[in-house]
Structure 1
Amino acid sequence: MPKATKKKKEKHADFAKAKLKLGKGKQAASNATDTSFKARSIALPGQEALARAARVEDGSGPSEPTTANGLTLDDLIIRFRHPNAGVRKESLGGVKEILGVEVGRETGKVLRALGGLISDDDASVRKALIALLGWYLAQVPVSTLSPHLPLLVLQTSSALSHIFPEIRLDGCKLVHLLLQHVPSHVVGSWPHEPSNILEGLRLAVGLGGEKGVNSQIGRLTGGAKLVTMRAMSEFVRRGLGIGLEVEKGKWKEGWEESGSRGKGRGKQRTVKADGGADLSEEGWLAAGKCWDVEAELENGWEIGRLGQQGGKGDEDNVVGVVSQLYIQLHPLLLSTFLESAPTAFSPSSTSSFSSSSANATEDIPLALCNTTASLTELLARAILTRAPPNPSPELKEVRSCVSDFLKRMAAWFPFRSPKSQALTPSGLSPGFELSLAYSNLAVLLAPRPPALVWPETTTSKGGPARQSRSAMRVKAVETAWGKMRETARDTGKGKGKASSADNWAMEEVAEWVKDVLAPTKDALAPSLTPAAYSALLPIIWALLVQPPAQPVSEDDIPTSVGTAFLTHLTRQAATSAIRNVGDEFVISLIDIHEQRYPTLPFYIQVNSPLHDLFGRWFENVPKILWELGTRDEGSTEKLLRFLLDIGSRGQGGSASSLELLGVEVFPSISGKLAAFYHIQHPTKGSVPGPWTKLVQPPIKKIGLDVARVWIEWDKEGRLGDAVGRGCKAAGKEWEGYWTR
């Protein structure tokens, strides 16, 4: 063999593969380890968890709770730092297993450990953490959680500014969760003081510049946008102290004086205790800091409040903070709405789920439209209702932004997407909620009703010539209406102009309200729910207080909307929930309209068609009482208290130019009330009325007090005879109460 070939083979000898010969197996390597041994189990008696589990089975285990694997709470918390994400997730399940046995165990240690996982790198761990916190926060009292929440909120704030967008998104979910259970600890003193959580939410939604022009939210998916905006909306809502539900009676703030019902009108008479009304001979309207004393020839001296002055406090600071936030968010809100609306309200779109489907998936574009509109309405209400009479440049910019958003929404109003029929947790469909948001924005931009300025009394050559209270009130209201009309003219009209009043929007809202209240022949059309009806009432009130046309016309906004509302209410059954809410609203309208010295303009002119409609509703009250019977004693009590207040005026206590309810129908009302107490049927004979079947004694007493004050108009004696027979059927106690 040549020398060169030999050296070449030696060089590659370590890498040469031996050829196997037939019938001989592969030889084992010289350094191989024999692994042929077998074992049935591997016992680790020194492992602490297994030893503890064995002691638990024997009955000699520790007193602290453990998981099925024998792990204590401390063992599980140590595993939160395990490098394997599956172990960390499994440990969260073990923590829930232990807390399910003793939920209040070592709250501080649990919250500190859970807070450390908020910024975990694994998505499944964060998802399990949010689910566990959602269960845990609902189980533990807030008083127990409070000392340990600041650290959890700080850890959440850190997650909102994390470098990874997925962690920021889960931080927004956690903020929304905390706002549901411990809102005060998350919101803090905002808007009076800065909030780290709010700054984190701004970063999460991608606001970079001062006005949000560098927003990066466009890179997020629709679902991610929805999560971040919902967290922002919930934070603002909680910070401004506005609840999710429709605030009952909120629309009356500033319009209704407390203690003004039934005072100083005509002859007053005192009735029994539990009468439910102040029937004193003379009354005082005492409230506020500014007073005026007026003497009327027929009623003596009265004191009425002309205005209420209160300290501003830090309202200006709140307006400034919220205004800056809205100006920053406006480009983001507007662009998100414009991107989502064409898909959400496409004419070719079809409903992908029914309202009764339990597994229905949420329509993301529709939800984004709803969230952006509700957040805009929320911020606009907080700013414009607190705005001073002389707006600053910042407030003018806010009004311009709100008006711009309203104009862009107008293309799809009213919102009737086939996908918008599924009810939300508030009991409203998303389409109806959007229409309400649009209507509220239009109302906020409309001219604000100014405070009434009562004219001074004039003097003549023969001595002082006093104006009647009715004339003064009408003149003050007409002056206020003139200011509102002038404001509407100065700001311009039309969708194409930069109008602050946006009268075109108010007209569209009025048409929508009339369409909602109009009868429909479509059997498949969704019916108006009590929740939707209650949410619609503040819009109706805002339309009713608008200045009427000159002269009064059935086509102007307050007259047409009032006609649609009262006509719709009279079609409702006495036992329906809508009828109950509507009757209460009408009673409030009458109370506000007939105040002696109102502060804001609300007056239905004598020649308005609404007077007849209010009269028809009033004449129908005895029938409603009869049909209600004992089905809804709460509604019965409201109507009885209303009749008690109206009847306590006595004869001569009404001013025809002010009262909505004419005195000429009072004898008819008195006669119709007799059936509520007793009926003499032609064939059945003596039949006790619904009053005798009432369960609650206080309501029965109010019923007798109503009969006492209304018997004055009972010329035929029907009411007195019916009450006497009804009391005899009810028992001696009620006979004694009536006759004494």
Structure 2
Amino acid sequence: MPKSSKKKKEKVADFAKAKLKLGKGKKVSSNVVDTSFKARSIALPTQSITVEKDNVPTTRRKQTFGDILSLLKHHNAGVRKDAIFSVKELFNDYPDLITGSMAPLFSVCARLIGDTDAGIRKALLSFFEWLLARVPKDDLIPHAPFLLLFTTSAQTHIFPEIRVDAVRLLNLFIGTLPEYVVMGWNESGSGLGRRILDGYLGLLNISTKFGQNASDGLYSAKSSQSGDVLIHPKSKLVVLRSLSNFLCYAVCRRPATEADVSNQSPAMLPLPTWFLRPFFASARLYEEHGRLFNGSIMGDQEKHMFWAPEPASDSFDEDFAYNSDTVVSLPVAASCLTELFDSFADRNGPSDSANDVDFLMRLANALHPTLIASYLECAPVIFSPSVNPSDTDLQLLTTAMEITRTLYSVILQSASQAATRCDDLKALLGHLSCYFPFKPAYKDVKMEQAFQNLNVIYCELASLLVLVLSFPRPKASKQGRTLLPHTKVDKKLQMQAESIRIYVVRLLKGEGESGAQLPRPITPIAYIALLPSIWALLNQLDGPKDHLDEVVSSSVLSAVLDHAIRTPSSSAVKHVTIEFLARLLLLEKERGYVGVFNPRNAAADEKWLQWILHLPRVLWELGDSNLSTSVTLIQALLRLLQRGSFVVHHGHVALLCARLVPFFTITHPSRGKITGPFRKLATSSPRAGRLALDLSATLLVERVKDVSEDSSSSFQDLDQAIRAAIKGTVEEDYWVRLANSVV
């Protein structure tokens, strides 16, 4: 046991202070921090303070583009947001910087698409909306995959708000680069379209499960807690509207939004003819009918090619594309055009459209609960008789109906899938049929236009059912003729068709629900959307009598003809009315047409003649102001004369000649003979001028059949007017050769 004295010494040693020796400093602690520093001299010649930056573009804060790029990566959200505004300010002051700065800018901004700060995402969306309108499309294409990759990544973010903002950005890209957004949407090729579509469905709480084959793919509805943000109607509207734009371009290959369509020239709006396809015996004959009014306006750049059994070796054009399959399949002795056409009759093999229909069927099946829910939620509120609906509810129902129209307008064109999908469309329309025709509680110009859009979409959807259920099923009889068996249509659908007929007739007449308001002109988009409904009503069958209901057909056709005659020549709808009615008339002599409607049996001969005789006045009023409409009008008259339409027989040719005289030459009381609009039309479009001469020559051929004194005077006046209009022009030689060939 140690001694007690030793313990005492140890205790004292713990608290004893060590004595410092002379000349020794204080010992440094082991955890001391060295705070000494050394100052170095500043080399001013190498510092930025002496460098001139007068030529470098800067913002008001003296920030260059490089400075702003570094601030876009800053850890502070406020600094990043200010940097986005600085980029817009810099590009606004120096537009020349935009093209050369795309790559570094997009590489930084793409990472801000999924930023957790809502203010940054809102600022970025506004900046992209401003920037994409100023950058050429060709300059954006190289950066599209990179931007879409980060956008689709944000579509699957853990926060629903970020996913909705990513959809808003996708909507901008659909308006700018739609073909790259939808590329590969149906697994038909490479692209991010399928990933984008899955992102939409995920936001709508629809999960996707796919096997190895495309036919094994199934969509299924699945609730998810991450989609709670979509409870808000505005967020759901953003997703559905963007999905509608996506499907509209992916399926129909047309502009996504009504604003995009309205920005186009009225003459550039294509006339849809898909509703005529089931009423032709084959796809080839339908395509021949579709090409009746195709062609370039400017004839100078066209290449005229003539077929010969054995062409000369030096006559081949360098632009000729050789196709061995086509050449091998041609018969050796096919020396006439009819044989050439027949040789291609069996070349309509299966295409990718069947796979597209199957994919759309699965997609429609997945979206069916969402569309039903939108109808049930919005319809009672929108069609309330006591108060006008909110703009959000109205747009939500409109968008849901547009998605339905986009999907089923393609699905029901397939004869194999039409029967199975009619019930789905009936269920969707069943929730709206009790409210039709839709009208607001109180009169408001903006609200009435929105409700008219709803009515037009409903008419188009209901007409799809009528068309599908009245699809002719051709059967050969013993005499070799094509017979059309009767198709039964249920009573509810017949009642809907009758209500649609009443609405369409009122709309074409410009009347409202009460019939007391002033006529209101119809827009080109609304008229084009009504065409399937008009065609369905024209082909409506009357019960077991198995013939066309002449009362329904006559009333609808009379309303269409009255509207076409009443529409001014300068109206944007005029071009569409001319082409549509010309196609209806040409169906009488069209090869392979097996439909029920026949313009000869529609009890509207006087209306048809009135419409035909008003076309020369329209041609005179148009002149060269609308080349596409003028060309379509001339082509329509030329086709009708060539095919011997019942409307333009030899008794009416003299009337047409008399009305065409002012188009070539006008006789003024004091100034004498003045050149008509033909000279300007031929100068603007040589092809249009020669088409007008072809039409005139075709009319003058008929003078051999009509030898009356009045008719011969009309023919002679037209001939003299043409010669006076083309005197001294390049068309004079063409007319001489043409006149000699027809005499």
Q: Provide TM-score, normalisation by structure 2.
A: 0.71
Cα separation, 2, equivalents of 1:410 and 1:541: 20
- Residue 588 of structure 1 aligns with which residue? 583
- Residue 233 of structure 1 aligns with which residue? 244
- Residue 454 of structure 2 aligns with which residue? 434
- Residue 115 of structure 1 aligns with which residue? 110
**CA deviation digits over 1:375-419, x for unaligned, max 9?**
11112223222x35266xxx72x4322211111121232233268
CA RMSD of aligned residues (A): 4.4
Partner SS, residue 61 of structure 2 = coil
1:336 and 2:347 equivalent? no
- Residue 443 of structure 1 aligns with which residue? 463
Alpha-carbon offset, residue 345 of structure 1: 2.8
Cα separation, 1, equivalents of 2:65 and 2:555: 67
**CA deviation digits over 1:119-170, x for unaligned, max 9?**
2222111100111222233333444444444343232222222222221221
Cα separation, 1, equivalents of 2:378 and 2:443: 14
- Residue 312 of structure 2 aligns with which residue? none
Where do 1:418-433 residues align within 5 Å? 429-433=449-453
Against the structure 1 CA distance between its residues 548 and 586, is the aligned structure 2 distance closer, same or farther, given a 3 Å change threshold?
Answer: farther
Contact kept? 1:115, 1:152, Cα under 8 Å? yes
Which amino acid in 1 is paired with 2:694? D
Cα separation, 2, equivalents of 1:145 and 1:301: 48
1:378 and 2:389 equivalent? no
Partner SS, residue 416 of structure 1 = coil
Where do 1:46-125 residues align within 5 Å? 52=48, 60-61=52-53, 65-100=57-92, 101=94, 102-125=97-120
**CA deviation digits over 1:618-665, x for unaligned, max 9?**
24334444555666565444333333334446xxxx4xxx84544443
- Residue 18 of structure 1 aligns with which residue? none
Against the structure 1 CA distance between its residues 507 and 725, is the aligned structure 2 distance closer, same or farther, given a 3 Å change threshold?
Answer: same
Partner SS, residue 116 of structure 1 = helix
1:223 and 2:234 equivalent? yes
Where do 1:141-152 residues align within 5 Å? 141-152=136-147
Contact kept? 1:674, 1:722, Cα under 8 Å? yes
Give 5+ residue unaligned stretches, structure 2.
1-40, 209-218, 262-268, 293-298, 309-325, 738-743
Alpha-carbon offset, residue 602 of structure 1: 5.1
- Residue 608 of structure 2 aligns with which residue? 614
Contact kept? 1:172, 1:204, Cα under 8 Å? no
Against the structure 1 CA distance between its residues 573 and 167, is the aligned structure 2 distance closer, same or farther, given a 3 Å change threshold?
Answer: closer
Contact kept? 2:237, 2:395, Cα under 8 Å? yes
- Residue 269 of structure 1 aligns with which residue? none
- Residue 708 of structure 1 aligns with which residue? 697
Aligned length: 611
Against the structure 1 CA distance between its residues 695 and 201, is the aligned structure 2 distance closer, same or farther, given a 3 Å change threshold?
Answer: closer
- Residue 666 of structure 1 aligns with which residue? 653
Which amino acid in 1 is paired with 2:699? W
Contact kept? 1:548, 1:556, Cα under 8 Å? no
Where do 1:448-463 residues align within 5 Å? 448=468, 453=474, 455=476
Alpha-carbon offset, residue 61 of structure 1: 2.7
1:517 and 2:516 equivalent? no
Alpha-carbon offset, residue 363 of structure 1: 1.0
Contact kept? 1:594, 1:659, Cα under 8 Å? no
Alpha-carbon offset, residue 689 of structure 1: 7.0
Cα separation, 1, equivalents of 2:142 and 2:664: 60
Contact kept? 1:213, 1:331, Cα under 8 Å? no
Partner SS, residue 211 of structure 1 = strand
Against the structure 1 CA distance between its residues 378 and 188, is the aligned structure 2 distance closer, same or farther, given a 3 Å change threshold?
Answer: same
**CA deviation digits over 1:660-683, x for unaligned, max 9?**
5444433444454445545778x7
Contact kept? 1:540, 1:561, Cα under 8 Å? yes
Cα separation, 2, equivalents of 1:576 and 1:142: 31
Against the structure 1 CA distance between its residues 631 and 139, is the aligned structure 2 distance closer, same or farther, given a 3 Å change threshold?
Answer: closer
548-557 or 242-251: which moved more?
548-557
Against the structure 1 CA distance between its residues 727 and 191, is the aligned structure 2 distance closer, same or farther, given a 3 Å change threshold?
Answer: closer
Percent sequence identity is 26
Which amino acid in 1 is paired with 2:397? C
Cα separation, 2, equivalents of 1:262 and 1:83: 60
Cα separation, 2, equivalents of 1:615 and 1:291: 43
371-380 or 176-185: which moved more?
176-185
Cα separation, 2, equivalents of 1:152 and 1:626: 51
- Residue 198 of structure 1 aligns with which residue? 197
Alpha-carbon offset, residue 318 of structure 1: 2.4
Against the structure 1 CA distance between its residues 608 and 116, is the aligned structure 2 distance closer, same or farther, given a 3 Å change threshold?
Answer: closer
**CA deviation digits over 1:210-254, x for unaligned, max 9?**
532536568521211111111222222233243136761221664
Against the structure 1 CA distance between its residues 452 and 341, is the aligned structure 2 distance closer, same or farther, given a 3 Å change threshold?
Answer: closer
- Residue 493 of structure 1 aligns with which residue? 491
Contact kept? 1:92, 1:128, Cα under 8 Å? yes
Contact kept? 1:173, 1:227, Cα under 8 Å? yes
Contact kept? 2:587, 2:593, Cα under 8 Å? no
Alpha-carbon offset, residue 191 of structure 1: 0.9
Which amino acid in 1 is paired with 2:676? P
- Residue 32 of structure 1 aligns with which residue? none
Contact kept? 1:374, 1:437, Cα under 8 Å? yes
Contact kept? 1:176, 1:234, Cα under 8 Å? yes
Contact kept? 2:187, 2:194, Cα under 8 Å? no
Cα separation, 1, equivalents of 2:198 and 2:549: 51
Against the structure 1 CA distance between its residues 159 and 339, is the aligned structure 2 distance closer, same or farther, given a 3 Å change threshold?
Answer: same
1:156 and 2:158 equivalent? no
Contact kept? 2:641, 2:648, Cα under 8 Å? no
- Residue 12 of structure 2 aligns with which residue? none
Which amino acid in 2 is paired with 1:439? C
1:251 and 2:273 equivalent? yes
Which amino acid in 1 is paired with 2:223? N
Contact kept? 1:191, 1:240, Cα under 8 Å? no
Cα separation, 1, equivalents of 2:719 and 2:649: 28
Contact kept? 2:620, 2:662, Cα under 8 Å? yes
1:311 and 2:349 equivalent? yes
Contact kept? 1:543, 1:561, Cα under 8 Å? yes
Contact kept? 1:290, 1:307, Cα under 8 Å? no
197-206 or 724-733: which moved more?
724-733
- Residue 508 of structure 1 aligns with which residue? 499
Which amino acid in 2 is paired with 1:513? V
Which amino acid in 2 is paired with 1:195? R
Cα separation, 1, equivalents of 2:554 and 2:547: 8
Which amino acid in 1 is paired with 2:170? V
**CA deviation digits over 1:1-22, x for unaligned, max 9?**
xxxxxxxxxxxxxxxxxxxxxx
Alpha-carbon offset, residue 373 of structure 1: 0.7
Contact kept? 2:664, 2:678, Cα under 8 Å? yes
Contact kept? 2:456, 2:526, Cα under 8 Å? no
- Residue 526 of structure 2 aligns with which residue? 532
Against the structure 1 CA distance between its residues 590 and 667, is the aligned structure 2 distance closer, same or farther, given a 3 Å change threshold?
Answer: same
Cα separation, 1, equivalents of 2:733 and 2:84: 70
1:322 and 2:311 equivalent? no
**CA deviation digits over 1:166-193, x for unaligned, max 9?**
2122121112122222333333311125
Which amino acid in 1 is paired with 2:652? V
Cα separation, 1, equivalents of 2:478 and 2:137: 59
- Residue 21 of structure 2 aligns with which residue? none
Which amino acid in 2 is paired with 1:125? I
Against the structure 1 CA distance between its residues 542 and 563, is the aligned structure 2 distance closer, same or farther, given a 3 Å change threshold?
Answer: same
Against the structure 1 CA distance between its residues 535 and 509, is the aligned structure 2 distance closer, same or farther, given a 3 Å change threshold?
Answer: same
Contact kept? 1:674, 1:718, Cα under 8 Å? no
Which amino acid in 1 is paired with 2:160? P
Cα separation, 1, equivalents of 2:327 and 2:430: 40
Against the structure 1 CA distance between its residues 178 and 669, is the aligned structure 2 distance closer, same or farther, given a 3 Å change threshold?
Answer: closer
Against the structure 1 CA distance between its residues 204 and 64, is the aligned structure 2 distance closer, same or farther, given a 3 Å change threshold?
Answer: farther
**CA deviation digits over 1:5-47, x for unaligned, max 9?**
xxxxxxxxxxxxxxxxxxxxxxxxxxxxxxxxxxxxxxxx99x
Where do 1:292-307 residues align within 5 Å? none
Contact kept? 2:248, 2:254, Cα under 8 Å? yes
- Residue 601 of structure 1 aligns with which residue? 595
Contact kept? 1:291, 1:307, Cα under 8 Å? no
Contact kept? 1:711, 1:720, Cα under 8 Å? yes
1:417 and 2:440 equivalent? yes
More helix, by proportion: 2
- Residue 389 of structure 1 aligns with which residue? 416
